[in-house]
Chain A
Amino acid sequence: MILRLLLHLLLLFMLAPLLAGIIGKTKATFAGRTGVPFFQLYWDLGKLFKKGVVISRTTSWIFRTGPVIGLAVPLLAALFLPFGPVGAVFSFNGDLIFFVYLFALARFFTATAALDTGSSFEGMGAVREVTFSCLVEPTLFFILIVLVRLSGSLTLSGMFGPTLVASWHSAGASLIIILVCLLVVTLVENCRIPFDDPNTHLELTMIHEVMVLDHSGPDLGLILYGAAMKLLIFGAMLVRLILPFSLGNFWLDLMLFIVGLCGLAGLIGVIESIMARLQLLRIPQLLIGTSLLSFFSVILLLR
């Protein structure tokens, strides 16, 4: 148990910033540039944690709480999810709902912290973030319902457990559909193109980035670290869905998991390189589309 906890945390802390580096490097390669080093985010985080903080006088304690919860939530959520061969640390019946609403809690605090600054930009960002996450929630639940139904387990560790291999044989169509939906959810939740542009400097077009404009120093570091971990958590679910089998050796399986995550980061980099951003008005339409698609995968199972 303790060993698993340590391994989990080690993977989470050490691997998360690398994914951002891989995405950046892939995009740079497509654009014909050298790009920043793979390990840039590690240096950035180190730099931010050494800095001081500037806090607006109009804010209250909520503003300081946002970043802390932004890091605490992915940390806690990760422990309910198996990372490749490393099983979940905690597990109880119905923990999938706890898992989903942990992220909702983080969103609540990030959005409230954004509103706390009183800036019109951050207010707009908060509104957009909350709207889009409302639309993502049904998709996420349909995905989980499919997995519950297939595995017969109400825990995340059971749903992403060894039964997945058999499920691919019995209900491949449903799983392919939820795989696509989960990729969309991952892109939306992690503010990637085509839904949001993490690299833009244009406040009026931002969704997530604009909410954290007023944070600086260690607070910003916590937010960036939390965001990287969130990507790793969603990535872990995707990788587990794509590569459910076991090679029989713990270390080989672990390698497979890590390679899978890096491959996924590369895929996100490719998507960001060959697509433009969606118009903000189109995002809800697309999200409703994925909700319907994921609902269809449930119907496929029930027929």
Chain B
Amino acid sequence: MTESVYLKNGGMTPVAAIPRLEYGDFGQAIVTQVQKGQARVAAYFAVLSDEPGAVLEIFAILARERHGDLAVFRTLVGERFESLTPNCSQVHLFEREIAEQFGVIPEGHPWLKPVRFHRSWRPDHDAWGRDPAAHPLVGDLDFYRIDGDGVHEVAVGPVHAGVIEPGHFRFQCYGETVMHLEISLGYQHRDLERMLLGGPHPATPSQIETIGGDSTVAHMSAYSKVIEGLTGCPAPARAKAIRALGLELERLANHVGDLGALSGDVGFLPTASYCGRLRGDYLNMTAHLCGSRFGRGLVRPGGVLFDLQSSLSARILAALEDCEANTIGAIRLFFDTPSVLSRLEGIGRLSRSAAEDLGLVGVAAKACGVPRDCRFFFPTGIYQQEFDELITDENGDVFARARVRSREVEVSLGLVRRILGNLPKGETMIPMGPLPPESLAVTLVEGWRGEVVHVGLTDGTGSFRRYKIVDPSFHNWSGLALALRDQQISDFPLCNKSFNLSYAGFDL
């Protein structure tokens, strides 16, 4: 086995301890482990290198479900290097991202196109030779095209009919059948990762909380655990429990909201209306907790900013009592209606092998029968004792994605009850020391959409040399594009809703 550093979730290592592999060995190690199904690429990013002859240093974080640990590799590359994508499709988007950020060329990449349409981080180096003075036009892409009799192209977005985020979808259709869908994002790019360099800054927590507004607690928990991992000061048990509570409430609100939205998309009114209201109720429980319906300001490195008084605990439990029966009822009605089931089954099917090849995470992966849940495989805090119900489904269609959500709702309801009934005593916040120099920490948090990965890498002064964020949407958008193959174009909104991915989380 290739030499490497193996970390637990939330673990830290000095950078010097990570062996620097030759690029060939590095590629070989990743491709072998991924092809054998022992590991998948959780994060893959680059930093500028001062080593002579090298331009970039690439770090790869492999998540190894069976071992419950994370393997870290690093290597040096020049202006051009051989792409790993032909042998390992999980890195396809990561390599495109690196090419766009640093203007390097992964040679042999089969689909080397811009990801977010921003200027290269290295002045005067652009992988596509675009004008360095002007900001690239978002969506200016050489779309894959199919020509022929009866073949037509449909462009949707970036501005949509609903109040949703901007993104462009280009369909190649034969009649009503979609042959190919290409998704072009980047309209929400805020250059977050570069804003975080040199940090943590006073604004950093607020920026982290807005990576994707619907996953505030997930991203903020991941960030806090990175800081805690780097400094070696874990948050108190009570704080961890309150974080888990916030995370599960976030999951409940979004899953219930998604089921309602799916119901609305198939034109089934009752569940759509009830779930819309219930989502608000769950958001309000988070608001009881911290004053913000989306959990902003709840989690901070070192713990949580809001303690849970026993009177508040009782209030949330009482509110939950009311919501639980309504939620279960609305969901049951949805799954008991034949016209709804006939609309969901067999639509947008994704095979298990495709989901594994693309490295999908979260609800989309679980629906294909791929067991992926950080709470189960990489548990931290309260999940080490309290979580043992890994949900998967088998068919990988819209129905499976809906059913994974509905079953996760039931699990989360139980979890919230257990957390509230068994809250550890003690403090909720401890002070954080300065970050150690030349270190790397990795955290995985299972947000409602899937695995959120944060990697913090510090420089010689203990500031961020690189802060890598991988939102589950980054992996899963490709899954949506693949799920649409040979589907009816009229089913796209339904498929899209069943994935319900974040645009902002992808665009960063």
Contacts and interface: CB of A to CB of B under 8 A. Distances in A.
B161 interface: yes
Interface in B154-187: 154-156, 161-162, 176
A31 B339 contact: no
A187 to B, nearest CB: 12
A197 B268 CA distance: 10
Contact of A277 (B154, B274, B343): B343
A30 B269 contact: yes
B273 A276 contact: no
Contacts of B490: 204-205, 279-280
B488 A280 contact: yes
Given A203-B161, A279-B490, 12 more contacts: A30-B270, A121-B154, A193-B267, A200-B265, A202-B265, A203-B156, A204-B156, A205-B265, A205-B493, A278-B339, A280-B488, A280-B491
A275 B268 CA distance: 6
Interface string B456-490: 00000000000000000000000000000000111
Contacts of B488: 279-281
Contact of B266 (A204, A277, A281): A277
Contacts of A120: 152-155
Interface string B258-270: 0000010111111
B337 interface: yes
A107 interface: no
A249 B152 CA distance: 60
A279 B343 contact: yes
Contact of B337 (A32, A276, A278, A280): A276
Please indicate which of the listed interface residues A272, A279, A280 has the most CB atoms of chain B within 10 Å of its own CB.
Answer: A279
Contact of A124 (B154, B265, B272, B491): B154
Nearest to B178: A204
A197 B155 contact: no
Contact of A202 (B273, B339, B493): B493
A204 B497 CA distance: 13
List of 9 A-B pairs having minimum Cβ-Cβ separation, nearest first: A31-B273, A277-B267, A276-B268, A202-B493, A276-B266, A201-B161, A276-B339, A197-B267, A280-B490
Contacts of A199: 267
Contacts of B161: 201-203
B354 interface: no
Contacts of A193: 267
A281 B491 CA distance: 10
Contact of A279 (B270, B272, B342): B342
A200 B267 contact: yes
B340 interface: yes
A277 B343 CA distance: 7
Nearest to B347: A279
Please indicate which of the listed interface residues A204, A274, A279 has the most CB atoms of chain B within 10 Å of its own CB.
Answer: A204
Contacts of B156: 203-204
A216 interface: no
Interface in A263-283: 272-282
Contacts of B337: 274-276
B162 A202 contact: yes
Contact of B489 (A124, A194, A282): A124
A289 to B, nearest CB: 15
A143 B118 CA distance: 62
B172 to A, nearest CB: 12
Given A30-B269, A31-B273, A193-B267, A275 B339 contact: yes
Interface string B327-363: 0000000000101101100010000000000000000
Contact count band on A: 20 to 34
Contacts of B268: 275-277
Interface in A77-130: 120-121, 124
22 contacts: A30-B270, A31-B274, A120-B155, A124-B489, A197-B267, A200-B267, A202-B162, A203-B156, A204-B489, A204-B490, A205-B494, A276-B263, A276-B337, A277-B266, A277-B268, A278-B342, A279-B342, A279-B343, A279-B491, A280-B490, A280-B491, A281-B488
Interface of B: 152-156, 161-162, 176, 263, 265-270, 272-274, 277, 337, 339-340, 342-343, 347, 488-494
Nearest to B169: A204
A57 interface: no
A249 to B, nearest CB: 39
Contacts of A8: none
A203 B162 CA distance: 10
A194 B339 contact: yes
B483 to A, nearest CB: 15
B162 A201 contact: yes
A30 B266 CA distance: 16
B269 A27 contact: yes
A37 to B, nearest CB: 18
A205 B156 CA distance: 13
Nearest to B163: A201
Contacts of B492: 204
A33 B277 CA distance: 10
A290 B115 CA distance: 50
Nearest to A213: B161
A276 B493 contact: no
Contacts of B489: 124, 204
Interface in A213-249: none
A24 B447 CA distance: 38
B343 A278 contact: yes
A277 B492 CA distance: 14
Contacts of A204: 154, 156, 489-490, 492-493
Contacts of B339: 194, 275-278
A273 B270 contact: yes
A118 to B, nearest CB: 12
Nearest to B153: A120
Please indicate which of the listed interface residues B152, B342, B490 has the most CB atoms of chain A within 10 Å of its own CB.
Answer: B490
Nearest to B164: A201
A30 B82 CA distance: 60
A199 B176 CA distance: 22
Nearest to B273: A31
